[in-house]
Each structure stands twice: as C-alpha cells, then as structure tokens.
Amino acid sequence: MVLSLSLFLPCKDKLTKEAFMSHFTIKLRQILHKTRDEWAKFAIREMEIPPNTIAKFYGYKSSCDLEQILKQDKNDANSDICSTPCARSLTSDVSKTTIFD
C-alpha cells in the first residue's frame, strides 16, 4: 500500500515531511500493536491456541508479556503476577541497577 504525503499534509500545514513521517510511524505502530493484542486475545480465548504459541508467532518477547496483556484486559491495571514461570522470567531479565533516592 503506497500513500502519498500530499494526502495528509495540506500546503498551509507547517509540519515537515520528517515530522509527519515520525508522527505517522508512531501512530501506525500503536495501531498495529493494538491489533496484534486483539488478535492474540481472540486466538487464545476463541480458538484455544496455547499462549506460548501465540507469543512466538505474534512477536511478543515471551508468553509472560502476553499473559500481562490478557490480565490487564480482564482485571484492568491492578492485576498481580501470579504465575511462577512469569515471575521468574521477569526477575531474570532485570539487570543489576542501583537506585538512589
């Protein structure tokens, strides 16, 4: 699909093509991630495909990322991590950092 910038940028608009493309790319990425999450939820709930399979083929870093998205959908933003493999993978990814007050 090829889009012409002239369709999106009126002559009087002060946006440069670079600024427009940056904004357009960000919005497109947000839409694609939302669509990916919706398809992943559908595949798991309706088609009963295992989350590990969906995570692998839909480009999630791990099934833990996908679990968190599903939990957020169910329990809003207040869900806790309750699966041991998920918690283990999250803690193993944390690099050694020092926190200063």
In sequence order, what DSSP letters do the residues of 4-56 get, joined into one string? -GGGT--TT----HHHHHHHHHHHHHHHHHHHHHHHHHHHHHTS---HHHHHH
Which range of residues forms the domain containing residue 41?
23-90
Whether 4 is in a domain gets the answer: no
Whether 15 is in a domain gets the answer: no
* Contacts for 20 with CB less than 8 Å, ≥ 6 apart: 5, 8, 9
Count of structural domains within the chain: 1
pLDDT for 14: 62
pLDDT in tens, 62-84: 888 888 877 877 665 444 444 44
Whether 6 is in a domain gets the answer: no
In this prediction the pTM is 0.45
pLDDT in tens, 40-62: 888 888 889 888 888 888 888 88
Taking alpha carbons only, the member of 84, 46, 37, 29 closest to residue 65 is 37
Q: 12 falls in which pLDDT band (50, 70, 90)? A: very low
Average pLDDT over residues 13-38: 80
